[in-house]
Copies of this chain bind each other. A is one copy, B any other.
Amino acid sequence: MADPLRQHIEKIVPLTDAEFASVASLFTTKKLRKHQFLVQEGETVAHECYVLKGCLRAYHLDNAGKEHILQFAMEDWWITDFQAYFQQTPATVYVDCLQDCELLCLTLENREKLCAEMHKMEHFFRMKLTAGFVALQQRVLSSLNSTIQQRYEQLLASYPQLFQRVPKQLIAAYLGVSRETLSRLAK
């Protein structure tokens, strides 16, 4: 049978059945409906979550009440307020569901336990972070050197599924332009 988490991990490190069982035992499942919050500003953040099903976003609410989207997550992605999670500080962003979701949740304590006890899993998380780091650098770079038009097209080319699942105004809040401007660019 296909276990998405196992497949996800085994893209990077092979696991025996026993190893995977002990990994999986540290996750808890969570189901949330559309519009429910996984994280709210000011809360402590207990988990990072692997998305089995659904679509979420992490966003910051500024003083003027505008939402700025830091990250989307769909199946096979991870999401939380990573700063608050890793540093165990109060959340500065909201994470909510854009669709009904099923998640696998891991506490920081269990994450560190996994890393300490299974070298393979520390390797896995390091590889995931490496990819995430590079992706974020590319995002910073594209915000510096690309037009909004180009960034819109790159996003569309990279994640076409995203455009089927979320309204365009959220794409605008991710790219950092007003929905009106995005609408005019998409022509």
Contact = CB atoms under 8 A, between A and B. Distances in A.
Contacts of A87: 134
Interface in A107-160: 115-116, 119, 122-123, 125-126, 129-130, 132-134, 136-141, 143-145
Number of copies: 2
A138 to B, nearest CB: 7
A60 interface: yes
A86 interface: yes
Contact of A141 (B68, B132, B145): B68
A90 interface: no
8 contacts: A60-B145, A66-B145, A70-B144, A82-B133, A132-B133, A133-B136, A136-B136, A143-B176
Nearest to A116: B123
Contacts of A139: 140
* Top 6 A-B residue pairs of the complex, sorted by shortest distance between their CB atoms: A68-B144, A136-B136, A129-B129, A126-B126, A68-B145, A62-B145
A83 interface: yes
Interface of A: 60, 62, 66, 68-71, 82-83, 86-87, 93, 115-116, 119, 122-123, 125-126, 129-130, 132-134, 136-141, 143-145, 176
Nearest to A174: B144
Contact of A129 (B93, B130, B138): B130
Contacts of A69: 144
B82 A134 contact: yes
Contacts of A136: 133, 136-137, 140
A126 to B, nearest CB: 4
Contacts of A132: 133
A140 B141 contact: no
Contacts of A141: 60, 68, 70, 93
